[in-house]
Structure 1
């Protein structure tokens, strides 16, 4: 078995990004419904589904394919901007955090004593 998420700085950073992202995308539901008149079922299904996907992906980061799948998830979250325009900006911010977490985590992992 591989190292745990707690022992791997890349996974730890990526899981943190996904956890924060799940909160933000879930908070987009009431904005979509109350402010932008999006149907509640649609907003709940799209944003709620993506929030759950973020949390699930955070738990699946021990698999090598999960980083790429998380990248796809970042694109989907940017696409929620078609429903809640502020999510274009927030999605790009989280995409940048995702890329930075990969870069910084790998840098920290290579600097760690072996």
Structure 2
């Protein structure tokens, strides 16, 4: 679950960097600063995914990515795609962890 979530967040970091490049010519500095804050949080959040707070922060960042569409309209589509990938990371990750736990429960320890 953490690996998939981390991959989504790091890829969004790069996407946010490209979005800030698109926004730099037509918008105020405050929108660039807001994008930079989101990008930095996207890069730091994978380290927090061991805890529930990391997943909550990651979900909040998904909303902020979609919200950045006010500055760069194409971010709405990209944000929705990555939001879907985030949800898929949570669902697939939970199934994978459940399968691993079941496998570990049936495994006999070496004596």
| TM bracket, shorter-chain basis | 0.7 to 0.9
| Structure 1 residue 59 corresponds to structure 2 residue 47 | yes
TM-score in terms of structure 2 length: 0.86
The alpha carbon displacement at 1:43 in A equals: 3.5
Query: Whole-Å Cα distance in 1 between the matches of residues 52 and 91 of structure 2?
Result: 16
- Report the 3-state secondary structure (helix = DSSP H, G, I; strand = E; otherwise coil) of the residue aligned with 1:85: coil
| Structure 1 residue 50 corresponds to structure 2 residue 38 | yes
Query: Whole-Å Cα distance in 2 between the matches of residues 58 and 43 of structure 1?
Result: 24
| Structure 1 residue 33 corresponds to structure 2 residue 21 | no
Query: Whole-Å Cα distance in 1 between the matches of residues 23 and 31 of structure 2?
Result: 6
Number of residue pairs matched? 102
- Structure 1: give runs of 5+ residues left out of the alignment: 1-9
| Structure 1 residue 109 corresponds to structure 2 residue 90 | no
The alpha carbon displacement at 1:55 in A equals: 1.0
TM-score in terms of structure 1 length: 0.84
Query: Whole-Å Cα distance in 2 between the matches of residues 81 and 107 of structure 1?
Result: 32
Indicate the RMSD between aligned Cα atoms, in angstroms: 1.1
Aligned residue among 82, 95, 107 for 2:83: 95
| Structure 1 residue 23 corresponds to structure 2 residue 11 | no
The alpha carbon displacement at 1:28 in A equals: 0.6
TM superposition outliers: structure 1 runs of 4+ over 3 Å: none
| Structure 1 residue 70 corresponds to structure 2 residue 50 | no
